[in-house]
Amino acid sequence: MNKKEVAHIRKQFKLDHDLLKVFDILNVYIMKESSEIYHYECQPFALVDREKQELYMGNFKKLLTGELGQKLFEVKFQEDAEEPTRVLLHQGLVTGHTEDWQNLMLLLVEKMLADTKYERDTVVTFVRGEYFRPTRERNDEAERSERDEMFAHPFILCSVNSTEQQKKTLLFDYVEREFKYNVIVDPIVKLSAPEQGFFYPSVTDNASDVNRVLYCSGKANEPNHHFIDQVLNAEKTVTAQEERVIFEEIVKEVAGEQLDAATLAHVYEGIHQVIETNQEEEPPKLDYKDVERLLTASGVEDLTTEKVERAFQTVVDDKNYELKASSVIPKFTSKSIKIDTKVATISVSPQDLKYVKQVNYHGKRCILIEVDEDAVIEGFTLATETL
């Protein structure tokens, strides 16, 4: 599943969209004290009050918002799982009976409750529906529109949301002309901040892929591995943050602990070039041969294919492991690199890292930054010293 496919699905989730139909919605309320289902209700989505529909649509869009590898993770179902969720979800996808779908989703909630203690009362929301995609790309020169041929994709979406108690307030009663202490015991369901969830089935080459599911995390680089493994019965996922650490360890294995800023800048520029020139739908990946080529082009000496291959084997125990190019590089055009010192924290972009050096001046280590203009501090232009 790529960024473009996720964006297409996400933008459908708004009211009255002609490329989206939501059939049913199931809400399940879980009590934190007992970790049991306190209440559930299932109804056609069309019968839900429009104000509630808007809240739900906002929740679903929020759930599907984020970068792949950071908040969104396409995971493959395990082949040898007992009572696999893959079968349960597929049955829920193809059944034409709302009651059967409801019972299947309640079985999934039971899997969520096993070995899990919720810190707050929690609401699990399921919807089922279908979205539409054109069977071919738009052609401005053709007489026919891309919407002449549409294909329906059935789906199940799940959102897990915690609750919070409303604050105690002081009210003024206009009729009685008195101040009143107001306590509302009904909890608020935090639809604007989903904890986690999933979208099934995933998408591969614009086609539904029932062997994969898109897991959605509420926080970047913090997927719930227990949920992925025990609830979804899916394979372990690696976050972008973890892949960046893997890449750093591999580079250290082959190039040593120390790199000058210029070399590191060349490495990042090379990776950025790989991403920018990629012509495939799938995001580019880097294997040990790609890493060897990038490091060699950046000036790292005494490098061999065998040395990089051994580094992959040492760090990830798999010489054929492939790193997502977008995961191992900080955001290229923003000040995404932090240089932390006891005196100051300096933020630079990968493309400007080449202007930064660590130098020895009179026996002291100093950070030297090449600039094109005068530096201004608190309205004062710094005087230029000649070293």
With a CB cutoff of 8 Å and minimum separation 6, the contacts of 178 are 172
pLDDT in tens, 27-37: 999 998 888 99
**How is residue 379 written in tokens?**
């309205």
Please tell me the distance from the alpha carbon of residue 60 to that of residue 202, in angstroms, as a whole number: 15
**Report for 84-93, 174-183, 351-360: range of highest mean pLDDT:** 84-93
Nearest Cα residue to 295 out of 365, 243, 248: 248
Nearest Cα residue to 327 out of 220, 254, 236, 227: 220
Task: Find the mean pLDDT for residues 117-125.
Answer: 93
Assign 220 a pLDDT band (cuts: 50, 70, 90).
Answer: very high
Query: What angle, rounded to 10 degrees, do the helices at 240-255 and 305-316 form?
Result: 130
- pLDDT of amino acid 83: 84
| pTM across the whole model | 0.85
Residue 223 has pLDDT above 80, yes or no: yes
**How is residue 191 written in tokens?**
């639809």
Which secondary structure element, helix H or strand E, spans residue 320, and what is its range?
none
267-278: b or e for each residue (b if 16 or more CB lie within 10 Å)?
bbbbbbebeeee
- pLDDT of amino acid 324: 92
What's the gap between Cα 257 and its chain centre? 30
> What three-state secondary structure class fits 332?
coil
Residue 153 has pLDDT above 80, yes or no: yes
Distances, alpha carbon 78 to alpha carbons 1, 94, 222, 231, 325, in Å: 18, 21, 21, 11, 25
Following DSSP, what letter does each residue of 83-133 receive, concatenated? S-HHHHHHHHHH---HHHHHHHHHHHHHHHHTT---SS-EEEEEEEEEEEE
- pLDDT of amino acid 355: 92
Which secondary structure element, helix H or strand E, spans residue 54, and what is its range?
helix 50-63
Following DSSP, what letter does each residue of 146-196 receive, concatenated? GGGSEEEEEEEEEEEEEEEPPPPEEEEETTTTEEEEE---SPEE-TTS--E
Task: Find the mean pLDDT for residues 190-209.
Answer: 92
Residue 120 has pLDDT above 60, yes or no: yes
Assign 205 a pLDDT band (cuts: 50, 70, 90).
Answer: confident
Task: Find the mean pLDDT for residues 87-114.
Answer: 95
Residue 314 has pLDDT above 90, yes or no: yes
- pLDDT of amino acid 42: 97
55 in Cβ contact with 191 (< 8 Å): yes
Residue 105 has pLDDT above 70, yes or no: yes
Higher pLDDT, 184 or 323: 323
Assign 56 a pLDDT band (cuts: 50, 70, 90).
Answer: very high
